[in-house]
Amino acid sequence: MALSLWELRSDADVNSRWVTSFMSSLTAGTFSIAATNPILVIKTRLMSQTSISNQTYVRSAWQYKSALDAARQIYRKEGILAFYSGLAPALLGISHLAIQFPLYEQLKRRFTGSGLGEERERSSYNMLGVLAAASLSKIVASSATYPHEVIRTRLHMRQGLRSTISASPWHGGIMKTANTVWLKEGWRGFYAGMATSMIRAVPASVTTMLVYENVLSLLMALRFDGENKLERANL
């Protein structure tokens, strides 16, 4: 009886952990993506512009000299809303984080015994746990939401929405892009470059989590020691 109650209790714990980390990653994802989307639009434009001398591609419609130049030109030619083209798919990308982080929390807890930002002891075994949890959670989340990324990149690449597309970017932008990809390239279009994306996404996730966990625990330990020493010194 006591055992079954304990099991129920621990199940409830696990459930509440899933719900808690799911809701937290939704919240954090919304804030962080909404705040940084304009920068991402500029980044994508800069990276996908083709140089004048390139023979393989048709020249891209834009030629920016720097990030600042890009920001100025986009603002002047396309208006403030252009910085939020592709925001809706970016918000869909929040679902990516909402898959990745609850999974990461669960996996890391299983491998090392503690959740995100917690550390029981510093050991290479725990670092291996972080590495495994970060890669596995990223692989699952990426394969679930990869089509979003394709659509988002295509949306960012459209320039001069007002002149080329009759519908506003807020209505039909995503559906129209998805439809075009579907008609021109079929389902393969939605998974174009997925292997490449994984080769990039998994090391990115591993780096982010390893660096974050280590820097955080290092600074928290410093803070803890510092507070103790200052407290004792002030007695």
Partner 1 sequence: MPYDHHDTLGNVEAASSMEYAAAHCSVDFIRTFAGAISGIASSIVTCPLDVIKIKLQAQGGFRRGTTSSRLSFTNRGLLGVGREVWLEKGLKGMYQGLGPSVLAYFPRWAIFFATYHRSHEVFQIWFGKFIHF
Nearer CB in complex with partner 1: 112/177? 177
How far is 104 from 29, CA to CA, in rounded Å? 15
Nearer CB in complex with partner 1: 50/95? 50
Task: Verify binding: residue 35, partner 1, rule CB under 8 A.
Answer: yes
The contact mask relative to partner 1 for 154-193 (x = CB under 8 A, - = no) is x--x--------------------------xx---x--xx
- C-beta of 81: minimal distance to partner 1 in Å? 19
Q: Which of 158, 182, 197, 184 is nearest to 61 (CA)?
A: 158
Segment (H or E) for 52: none
- C-beta of 219: minimal distance to partner 1 in Å? 5
Task: Verify binding: residue 91, partner 1, rule CB under 8 A.
Answer: no
CB within 8 A of 21, min separation 6: which ones?
101, 102, 105, 106, 115, 116
Burial-class residue 131 by CB neighbours within 10 Å (0-12, 13-18, 19+).
middle
Nearer CB in complex with partner 1: 175/222? 222
Task: Verify binding: residue 143, partner 1, rule CB under 8 A.
Answer: no
Nearer CB in complex with partner 1: 84/212? 212
CB within 8 A of 57, min separation 6: which ones?
50
- C-beta of 228: minimal distance to partner 1 in Å? 8
Determine which residue in the list 16, 123, 143, 168 makes contact with partner 1, applying CB under 8 A.
16
- C-beta of 218: minimal distance to partner 1 in Å? 8
Nearer CB in complex with partner 1: 144/222? 222
CA dihedral 220, 225, 227, 228 (to 10 degrees): 140
User: For partner 1, how many residues bind (rule: CB under 8 A)?
Assistant: 80
CA pseudo-torsion sign 179, 185, 190, 193: negative
